[in-house]
Structure 1
């Protein structure tokens, strides 16, 4: 009788443990509202690359990624309104004036830096630098050769706003210069044409980007007030809408841990622009080549339904 009672208690205890395990497993699953991750891309190849790499991981983990093509100011409005969950393109300090109001009202959260050792400022082709243009202060005295024009990216971009402020401030004697706002592709087309014809041109340049290998560039010194020191030395942050980490802790953990590097992004960008690969294929190939990176990104990250995140990504990429 005593033995029977002991076995009965044991069975009850085991049943309770199993039930507790089931509850724990179920609780590890992400809420259904988190399974679609809404992101934004301003049309820059570097952010296309990082969005694509993130998308490969999200799909393997059972999430759906939706990327909206939005300008930077509209992206921050989307984050504030809860329409965008995550943005991987917070270039600092270039975007500081745009981001500051959203940070102060706590409608967005800066998650963490996803890229260091980037740069973002004005540049000229090497033959222009060889002719004596090395800094912002050298532009005005060569105004005729530059047609008093600076080529920027899409209208509304924070970097363009910095250039406009510089012109409005009449800094470096550039008060009568004009800014051509186009798009990344449009600006690159202008650079390509100018380089082929050995014409003088000054434009926004940044790294990581294929332009650094496609063209021989010289970044201009002296623009610290408008682009930051060290030739616009930049950090790119991941930002999220307010409350996202609390509402969707598993996928938010992934984004808190994803950290890219210049060589990785340049590899994806080169495959897309020079080898004509799709951005998704280029991102997948890059991740297959660098499992040491994403294994650390997946530390403690589950699939959307609570499974083993690392094993799911390994299976999807065919990499151990």
Structure 2
């Protein structure tokens, strides 16, 4: 007999007996339970998280977003206070956080490959004078460049690695220093230097929107202090992951964006002034076949 007919007959029998009607397994209320999504409070994480929100909404889930610095988000992953986190950079980028807080976490899917940290300079700085971090020790460069390096939050991996680079390359002894701050301060410092065509060091990463316009030139890192290539993963506390419906787990496990997609969405937010949700929806509309394949 058709399962739907069986379900309707069973429902009628329960109703006639004055009993509660059990929901079919495919529509249990718990299958559509609210989901808490954690993300670091930087725009390229926000657009990545916004795509995940759209996917979850299509699956019927209400989503609450918790956002904050790295040092706040990873403990939430460990404690199970969030259901999903977009995203962790593995194996190196967030290695210290992952070692401390990722023991009980599950890697759901690789959202994009090629994530990495680097120092850059504006493209008007001559490459024959400054091509690598080691060149920052040249007397002519020391005399001309702004030796205070503006970064983002102190808990970010790029901030920790940048301070290590100062020591490993002997730059701190030459008067270089690192100043943590907000993302807004980091961007404003770069934009002001470009407007005045000043030489400056920009600690950054990919993906992020400033890589799109071609105005940055990466510096070589011969000591490898800033690390190598990573992948960005959607992760979840193991217990929380197992509680999600099979359909939700199957779809999330297929999500893949690519580093170019995140760069483009981050550009829409920071240059075109869209919200993260608007940027995600625009990308989804432009890549409907790819997104539909996650649900196939």
When the two structures are superposed, what TM-score results if normalisation uses the length of structure 1?
0.78
Q: Answer yes or no: is the 8 Å Cα contact 1:42–1:69 preserved in 2.
A: yes
**1:199, distance to aligned residue in structure 2 (A):** 0.8
Q: 1:151 to 1:234 in 2, by over 3 A?
A: farther
Return 5+ residue gaps in structure 1 as ranges.
1-12, 300-320
RMSD over equivalenced CA pairs, Å: 2.7
Aligned length: 280
- 1:236 aligns with 232
- 1:38 aligns with 36
**1:165, distance to aligned residue in structure 2 (A):** 2.7
How far apart, in 1, do the equivalents of 2:219 and 2:69 lie?
A: 26
Q: 1:83 to 1:21 in 2, by over 3 A?
A: farther
Q: 1:15 to 1:54 in 2, by over 3 A?
A: closer
- 2:61 aligns with 63
The counterpart of 2:294, out of the listed 291, 294, 297, is 297
Secondary structure, in 3 states, of the residue corresponding to 2:257?
Answer: coil
- 2:85 aligns with 87
Q: Answer yes or no: is the 8 Å Cα contact 1:94–1:226 preserved in 2.
A: no
Return 5+ residue gaps in structure 2 as ranges.
12-21
**1:171, distance to aligned residue in structure 2 (A):** 0.9
**1:156, distance to aligned residue in structure 2 (A):** 0.8
Q: Answer yes or no: is the 8 Å Cα contact 2:254–2:294 preserved in 1.
A: yes
How far does the alpha carbon of each residue in 1:137-183 deviate from its partner, in whole angstroms, 9 at most, with x for none?
1122233433432222122112211222333xx21112343211112
Q: 1:270 to 1:22 in 2, by over 3 A?
A: farther
Q: Answer yes or no: is the 8 Å Cα contact 1:114–1:258 preserved in 2.
A: yes
Q: Answer yes or no: is the 8 Å Cα contact 1:42–1:72 preserved in 2.
A: yes
**1:26, distance to aligned residue in structure 2 (A):** 2.1
**1:129, distance to aligned residue in structure 2 (A):** 4.2
Q: 1:15 to 1:68 in 2, by over 3 A?
A: closer
**1:194, distance to aligned residue in structure 2 (A):** 0.3
Q: 1:21 to 1:138 in 2, by over 3 A?
A: farther
- 1:222 aligns with 221
**1:131, distance to aligned residue in structure 2 (A):** 5.2
How far does the alpha carbon of each residue in 1:22-81 deviate from its partner, in whole angstroms, 9 at most, with x for none?
899822346538622212232222111111112122222221111112111211100111
Q: 1:83 to 1:172 in 2, by over 3 A?
A: same
How far apart, in 1, do the equivalents of 2:3 and 2:251 lie?
A: 34
Question: Structure 1 or 2: larger helix share?
Answer: 1
- 2:15 aligns with none
How far apart, in 1, do the equivalents of 2:3 and 2:45 lie?
A: 50
Secondary structure, in 3 states, of the residue corresponding to 2:65?
Answer: strand
When the two structures are superposed, what TM-score results if normalisation uses the length of structure 2?
0.84
How far apart, in 1, do the equivalents of 2:26 and 2:2 lie?
A: 21
